[in-house]
Amino acid sequence: MIPLKDYNPTRTTPVITIVLIAACVGIFVLVQPRGDDIDEAEFSYRTAAIPCEVVNARPLSEDEVDETLDGETEACSDGSESRPVFPDKSVYLAVLYSMFLHGSWLHLLGNMLFLWVFGNNIEDRGRPTYVAFYLLAGLVATIAHVAVQPNSTVPVVGASGAIAGVMGAYLVLFPNVRIRSLIFLFFFVTFADLRAKWLLGAWFVLQFFTNPAEGVAWVAHVGGFVFGVLAGLVWRAISPPGSYDTSVARPAF
């Protein structure tokens, strides 16, 4: 199921959402190297968050990177005697950088579509709060991934965790809003208007059936989504009655 648009008008222009999308696209197009596997790998190890680095507060060593490139995804070693590959890397700032990096055009465009559909209405609640919430959701998502795979030496890239937080908040604040969705049923493709609670609920459940071999940091998705749900509950609790329209809006076509 792919969301295409929601029937949930905003009160203001979603400037922050547009800036986030522009930043992700701009970094992917203008900053991230593409087409050369060696350059791409070097950029990822130099820039992106890596669980082993976060846990041990140090950049990966040459031995750890070599073993990872040879196929060992958990090459973290406390007693490595080789020197760091990128000794000046800030392993904690890398967590922030990773939220704006993507592995492919499909990865990027999929994330940006989800952010556009669900982010504009969350931004409508207040821009400063939205910025803080988005970044914190991405941080929580990364922490969840690191907690489950602390010895991983594979770079983590993508805005998926932060966007999952946006989706979790949307589920709480606008559960009955209709989402125009593209649905794949075996060999059939169709369009349908689904309530947000069914679409987002199904997306959340499907994360637990992700194939580990696909390299998707699904725990980060779950962590970000749960954080978004909790934040949405707080948002709703402290807001005046009627602040969030959860009515079912059915389009005329």
Which CATH number covers residue 123? Answer: 1.20.1540.10
- Which amino acid makes up residue 72? E
Lowest model confidence (mean pLDDT) among 6-15, 149-158, 205-214: 205-214
Domain coverage including residue 187: 2-237
Residue 104 lies in a domain: yes
Which residues on adjacent β-strands are paired with residue 179? 6, 194
Cβ neighbors of 228 (< 8 A, separation 6 or more) are 137, 164, 165, 166, 167, 168, 169, 170, 171, 172
Which of the four pLDDT bands, split at 50, 70 and 90, describes residue 145? very high
The torsion angle over the Cα atoms of residues 38, 42, 44 and 47, rounded to 10 degrees, is -160
Q: What is the mean pLDDT of the chain?
A: 90
Which of the four pLDDT bands, split at 50, 70 and 90, describes residue 251? very low
How many domains would you assign to the chain?
1
